[in-house]
Amino acid sequence: MNRRTLALPVAVGALALVLSGCTSGGSGAGGDDPNAEFEFWSFTGIGQKDSVDRYLEKNPDAKVKLSEVGSTTETATALTAALAGGKVPDLVMIQNDDLPKFLENPGNFVDLRTLGGDDIGDEYLDWAIDAATAENGALVGIPTDVGGLSFAYRADLFEAAGLPTDPDEVAKMWSSWDDFIAMGKQYTEATGQPFIDNVETTMFFSTVNQVTEKYYSPDGELVFDTNPQVKDAFDVAVQAYDAGISAGIAAWSSGWAPGKANGAFAVTTAPSWMLAGIQNDAPDTEGLWRIASIPGVGGDWGGSVIAIPARAKHPEAAWQYIETMLSPEGQTEHFAETGTFPAAKHALESPEVAGYTDPFFGDSAVGKVISDSVLQFSSFYNGPDTSAIGAALLNALVDMEAGNTPSDEAWDVGVKNAKAAING
Q: What is the pLDDT of residue 424?
A: 56
In one-letter notation, the amino acid at residue 147 is: G
Highest mean pLDDT out of 27-36, 376-385, 399-408: 399-408
Residues sharing a CB contact under 8 Å with residue 258, sequence separation 6 or more, in sequence order: 264, 281
Q: What is the pTM of this model?
A: 0.86
Q: What is the pLDDT of residue 419?
A: 97
Q: What's the average model confidence in pLDDT over 203-214?
A: 95
Rounded Cα gap, residues 161 and 182, in angstroms:
13
> Sorting pLDDT into bands at 50, 70 and 90, what band is 273?
confident
Lowest mean pLDDT among 32-36, 202-206, 296-300: 32-36
pLDDT tens digits for 124-151?
Answer: 999 999 999 999 999 999 999 999 999 9
Rounded Cα gap, residues 147 and 399, in angstroms:
26
Kindly state the greatest CA–CA separation across the chain: 69
Q: What is the pLDDT of residue 339?
A: 81
Examine the pLDDT at 397 and tell me if it is beyond 70: yes
What percent of the chain is modeled with pLDDT above 70?
92
Examine the pLDDT at 84 and tell me if it is beyond 70: yes
Per CATH, the homologous superfamily of domain 15-147+301-354 is Periplasmic binding protein-like II (3.40.190.10)
| CATH number for domain 151-299+361-423, candidates 2.60.260.20, 3.40.50.12160, 3.40.190.10, 3.40.50.1580 | 3.40.190.10
Rounded Cα gap, residues 234 and 206, in angstroms:
10
Highest mean pLDDT out of 7-11, 98-102, 112-116, 262-266: 262-266
Q: What is the pLDDT of residue 417?
A: 97
Examine the pLDDT at 296 and tell me if it is beyond 50: yes
Lowest mean pLDDT among 12-21, 48-57, 340-349: 12-21
Examine the pLDDT at 74 and tell me if it is beyond 70: yes
Q: What's the average model confidence in pLDDT over 175-193?
A: 98
CATH 3.40.190.10 residue ranges of the chain are: 15-147+301-354, 151-299+361-423
Lowest mean pLDDT among 104-118, 308-322, 331-345, 400-414: 331-345
Coarse DSSP helix, strand, coil percentages of the chain, rounded to the nearest 5 percent? 45, 15, 40
- Give the closest residue to 251 by CA, choosing from 392, 151, 393, 398: 398
Q: What's the average model confidence in pLDDT over 220-235?
A: 97
CA 164 → CA 153, 182, 187, 287, distances in Å?
A: 11, 14, 11, 16
Side by side, which strands form the sheet with 151-154? 267-269, 151-154, 289-292
Residues sharing a CB contact under 8 Å with residue 17, sequence separation 6 or more, in sequence order: none
Strands 300-307 and 141-148: antiparallel
Quote the mean pLDDT of the chain.
Answer: 90
Q: What's the average model confidence in pLDDT over 360-387?
A: 92
Q: What is the pLDDT of residue 240?
A: 98
Q: What is the pLDDT of residue 31?
A: 45
φ and ψ at 309, to 5 degrees? -60, 150
